[in-house]
Amino acid sequence: MQTEVELLNTSKPRHIAIIMDGNGRWAQKRLLPRAMGHRAGVKTVRKIVEFCASEEIEVLTLFAFSSENWRRPKEEVSLLMNLFFSTLQTEIDRLDRNNIRIHFIGDRSAFSEKLQNKINQGENQTRNNDGLNLVIAVNYGGRWDIKEATKSIAESVMLGQLQISDINEEAIRKRLSIADLPEPDLFIRTGGEKRISNFLLWHLAYTELYFTPELWPDFDKESMKKAIEDFSTRQRRFGHTGEQINNKLQNLK
Ligand code: IPE
Ligand code: IPE
Ligand code: MG
C-alpha cells in the first residue's frame, strides 16, 4: 500500500495503466488489414516498455485483450492469440535481460495449453527481477476480477476463516489481481474513446484519467512524456479540499 504522501505526489506516476486502442483504425486509414495495425501496435508496446523501464516507472499495466474481445470475428481473435504467443516467444528473454518482471492478469484458462505454458514460463523466468513490473491484462475484465474476489470471500466464509462482519474493502482489495502492486496513478487510453471498457474497475477508483485521440501505433515516447507532464499538473484530493491538500504538501517541505 502507498502512503498518503506518495499518493499526493504527482511528480512521477509509480503505476501507469494503458488501454492500447486504435490498432484497427490505424490500419484501416492506410487501407491495410486490421492485422497490420495489431503488428504495428506490438512495436509501440516495445517502445513504451523500454521508456517506462528507463524512466524507472515501477508498474506498467497494458490491456491487451478484454474478456469482451472474444466477440470479434474469429479470424481476428485467432490472429491476436497467435501474435500474443509469437511476441512472448521472442520478447521474454529480452525482458528478462532488462530486469523486467512480467505478470499476467485475466482468465488464462480460456487459452490453449501452449499459450498457458508460455505465460507461466514468462512469469517464472522473470520472477526474481526487480526492475519494471510489466502487467499484461489478457482475457481480463474488471467485473471478472471482482467476481473472482467475491467467490474467494464466499469460500473463506464457508470455511470459517472469515466472518461476514470482517468483510471490508481491504478484504476485497487483497483478493483482486495485482493486489501486491501499487494502484494505478495514471490511466491512459489512446484511440479517442472516453470509456473504461471493463478494464481495472476497482483499481481505477482514484486514478487520474488521460484520454488522447492518438491511435496506439502512433503513440510514442513523446506522447508518454506529454501524458506524464499532464499528470504532474493534477492535484489529487481523495475527497479532501484543495486547501487541505496544499497544507499537507506544504508541511512536507
Ligand atoms: C486495440 O485496438 C487492440 C485490441 C482490442 C486487441 P482495436 O483493435 O480495438 O482498434 P480499433 O478500436 O478497432 O481501432
Ligand atoms: C479495449 O478496447 C480493450 C483493449 C484495448 C484490449 P476495445 O476496442 O475492445 O474497446 P471498446 O469495444 O471500443 O469499448
Ligand atoms: Mg478498439
Residue nearest to atom 8 of ligand 1 (CA): 24
String of b and e for 141-177 (b: at least 16 CB within 10 Å)? bbebbeeebeebbeebeeeeebeeeeeeeeebeebbb
Task: Point out the residues that are catalytic.
Answer: 21, 69
Residue 198: partners with Cβ closer than 8 Å, 6 or more residues away: 66, 67, 68, 141, 142, 143
Residue 197: partners with Cβ closer than 8 Å, 6 or more residues away: 19, 21, 63, 66, 68
Let me know if 71 is exposed, middle or buried by CB neighbors in 10 A (0-12, 13-18, 19+). Answer: exposed
Residues found in the chain = 253
Determine the distance separating the centroid of ligand 3 and the alpha carbon of 87, expressed in angstroms.
20
Q: What percent of the chain has pLDDT over 90?
A: 94
Which ligand is closest in space to the CA of residue 38?
Answer: 1
Q: Which of 196, 176, 178, 180 is nearest to 188 (CA)?
A: 196
The pLDDT value given to residue 31: 98
Determine the distance separating the centroid of ligand 3 and the alpha carbon of 35, expressed in angstroms.
13
What is the residue extent of each domain of the chain? 12-141+182-252
* Backbone phi and psi for residue 209, each to the nearest 5 degrees, phi listed first: -100, 140
Residue nearest to atom 14 of ligand 2 (CA): 197
> Which CATH code of 3.40.1180.10, 3.30.590.10, 3.40.50.300, 3.20.10.10 fits the domain covering 12-141+182-252?
3.40.1180.10
- pLDDT for 196-239, tens place per residue? 999 999 999 999 999 999 999 999 999 999 999 999 999 999 99
- pLDDT for 74-117, tens place per residue? 999 999 999 999 999 999 999 999 999 999 999 999 999 999 99
Q: Which cell goes with 195?
A: 470509456
Binned at pLDDT 50, 70 and 90, residue 2 comes out as: confident
The pLDDT value given to residue 252: 81
Residue of 19, 21, 198, 214 best suited for mutating to test ligand 1, as the one with most atoms within 8 Å of CB: 21
**In angstroms, rounded to a whole number, what is the distance separating the alpha carbons of residues 122 and 91?**
9
Indicate if the pLDDT at residue 162 is higher than 90: yes
Helix (H, G, I), strand (E, B) or coil at 139: strand
- pLDDT for 115-159, tens place per residue? 999 999 999 999 999 999 999 999 999 999 999 999 999 999 999
Determine the distance separating the centroid of ligand 1 and the alpha carbon of 69, expressed in angstroms.
9
Handedness of CA 230, 231, 237, 238 (dihedral sign): positive
Q: In what order do the strands lie in the sheet with 59-66?
A: 101-105, 133-140, 59-66, 15-19, 186-189, 208-211
- pLDDT for 11-65, tens place per residue? 899 999 999 999 999 999 999 999 999 999 999 999 999 999 999 999 999 999 9
Ligand 1, pocket residues at CB < 6 Å = 20-25, 65, 69, 80, 191
